[in-house]
Amino acid sequence: MQLGIAAFMLRKLLRLALLLIAVAIFSFVLISLSPIDPIDAYVGADMLQISPEQRDIIAQRWGLDQPMMTRFILWLRQLASGNLGTSIIFNQPVSTVIGSRFQTSLQMLAIAWLLSGALGLAMGVVAGARAGSWLDRAIRFYAYTLAASPTFWVALLLLLVFSVSLKITPICCATPPGVLTKDVTVWQRLHHLILPAATLSLIGVANIALHTRQKLIEVLNSDYVLFARAQGESLVGIIRHHGLRNIILPALTLQFASLSELFGGSVLAEQVFSYPGLGKATVEAALRSDVPLLVGIVFFSALFVYTGNLIADLTYQIVDPRIRIGKSS
């Protein structure tokens, strides 16, 4: 088994390397072909004060006069040594910006992830156990409508109801304005992340609920549940002893694999709530042509999503006895 997992990890790491190289090539080509002029983007509003000669010097310094291939290799070398460059809009190393922004997002993402997972699982179990009932139909209706509605729209709706009309949640940001970071309490933080997290959860439950429902129906129609019924097991007993055991693994896998959607959703949700996390930084970087930051985020999100998928695959290897033990024997 140890050997199996080691080989599995090695294969996965190799794939990750390939993925990152592919991402690097794509980002480089796309940005080279994009209309953004790196010097314009860097200098910004001071453009008028720069003479064409100075411009040429900068271009030379940066190696912009080199052929594309040479530039790519130079850039790759920098990347490999861990240097992602400096963010233009924040005037800080890209890794620092991503680090601090991600920390802000992380709490929100974690809460959204846990909430959507737990809620979705519960909804799926209820719907599956009572398949065909009005409760099942209501849950399914909810899941289908929510799965089809855009994140920013749900975010705006929540903002209108809870922040504008009811005034029980803050209208923006991760902390109250005018309070020093070190003075912000945990409750204030929670208060600020509740709406963006709720937005992501409300949408996130749809997938897992529908999937769990389907899976539970399959389990309830299985031979082993028929046998359990023949032994006098009740519906609740069947769900407790056989249902959860058999649906938790696929649910977990799905939930880890959904990190990509969660990340994508956070870009929109953070924008609506002006929540200064990584998602908002993405939009800012894109709107203001902060190429180094944008590329840094592209790499980071690829890594993030890949890790999610990796954990999803790994849970099967570790949790499912048929794979865990089956491989060794």
Partner 1 sequence: MLSVQDLNITFTLYDRGLAQKQLTVITQLDLDVKAGEVVAVVGASGSGKSLLAHAILGILPDNAQVSGKMLFKGEPLTLNRCQDLRGKAIALIPQSIGYLDPLMQVGQQVQRTAQLSGLSRPAAKAAVDRTFARYRLAAIVQRLYPFQLSGGMARRVLVSTAVVSQAELVIADEPTPGLHPDVVTETLNHLRELASEGKGVILITHDIEAALQIADRVAVFYAGTTVEIAHAQDFSNNKIRHPYTQALWRSLPQNEFIPISGSQPTPEALPDGCLFSDRCPWVTQECQLERPPFLQVRGAPVRCIHADR
State yes or no: residue 228 binds partner 1 (CB under 8 A): yes
Q: What share of the chain is helix, strand, coil (3-state, %, to 5)?
A: 80, 0, 20
Q: Which of 226, 235, 283, 318 binds partner 1 (CB under 8 A)?
A: 226
How many CA atoms are closer than 13 Å to the CA of 96, on its beta-carbon side? Answer: 9
What the block records as the tokens of 317 is 């290897």
Q: Rule CB under 8 A: is residue 235 a binding residue for partner 1?
A: no
Closest CB to partner 1 among residues 55, 327: 327
Q: Are 258 and 204 in contact (CB under 8 A)?
A: yes
Q: Which stretch binds partner 1 (CB under 8 A): 27-35, 82-90, 220-228, 256-264?
A: 220-228
Rounded CA-CA distance 220/176 in Å is 50
Which residue, 37 or 233, is less far from partner 1 as judged by CB? 233
Tokens of 159: 């903002």
Determine, following the binding rule CB under 8 A, whether residue 137 of this chain makes contact with partner 1: no
- Decide: is 140 part of the binding site for partner 1 (CB under 8 A): no
CB 58 within 8 A of CB 51: no
Among 9, 11, 227, 307, binds partner 1 (CB under 8 A): 227
To the nearest whole angstrom, how small is the minimum distance from the Cβ of residue 223 to partner 1?
Answer: 5
- The DSSP bridge partners found for residue 66 are none
- According to the binding rule CB under 8 A, does residue 223 interact with partner 1? yes
User: Closest distance between partner 1 and the C-beta of residue 310, in Å?
Assistant: 22
Instruction: Provide the mask over 240-279, with x wherever binding to partner 1 is found by CB under 8 A and - wherever it is not.
Output: -xx--xx--x------------------------------
Place of tokens 């985020």: 297
What CA–CA distance (Å, rounded) separates 14 from 25? Answer: 17
User: Residue 305, SS3?
Assistant: helix
Q: What is the largest CA-CA distance in the chain?
A: 88
For residue 123, the minimal CB distance to partner 1 (Å) is 22
CB of 220 to partner 1, least distance (A): 12
Among 229, 261, 313, 316, binds partner 1 (CB under 8 A): 229
- Asked if 231 interacts with partner 1 (CB under 8 A), we say yes
| Cα gap 61→75, rounded to integer Å | 14
**Binding window for partner 1 (CB under 8 A); candidates: 120-128, 219-227, 256-264, 283-291:** 219-227
CA distance 92 to 200: 29
User: Cβ(249)–Cβ(287) under 8 Å?
Assistant: no
CA-based end-to-end distance of the chain: 9
Interactions with partner 1, residue window 60-119 (CB under 8 A):
none
* Residues 98, 84: Cα–Cα separation, whole Å: 10
Closer to partner 1 at the Cβ: 140 or 229?
Answer: 229
In the complex with partner 1, the residue whose CB is nearer, 30 or 226, is: 226
* Site membership for partner 1, residue 321 (CB under 8 A): yes
Nearer to partner 1, 112 or 238 (CB): 238
By the criterion CB under 8 A, which residues form the site for partner 1?
A: 223-224, 226-233, 237, 241-242, 245-246, 249, 320-322, 325-326, 329
